[in-house]
Structure 1
């Protein structure tokens, strides 16, 4: 017997079956997928990273 894997849609919380028939997984629909994409495009979502170490911050690789 194969166990059916389900996940929660990150946008609305609906249950989504994780398989090839779920075209928008982990989202439940194209609508939820596009809402999420819009949030990333509007920079409402971000992945934390290293601070910007550009020369504009007074940092330089030259130790002298």
Structure 2
């Protein structure tokens, strides 16, 4: 399996990454909000309270 960050072969210790560095790069991307799931903005989705009224 290739590392999703640098495409080198992954290692058992850091799977699916090849090293701690690549695992940390991925974590930093998550923490900065660089990964998103497509969908409507949260402001456009009614809350449960709004749906009851």
Runs of 4 or more above 4 Å deviation: none
Aligned residues: 49
TM-score by length of 1: 0.61
TM-score by length of 2: 0.71
Identify the match of residue 25 of structure 1 among 2, 15, 37. Answer: 15
Unaligned runs of 5+ in 1: 1-6
Unaligned runs of 5+ in 2: none
- Root mean square deviation of aligned Cα: 2.4
Between structure 1 and structure 2, the one with the greater Rg is: 1
Q: Within the alignment, does 1:37 sit opposite 2:27 as a pair? A: yes
More helix by percentage: 2
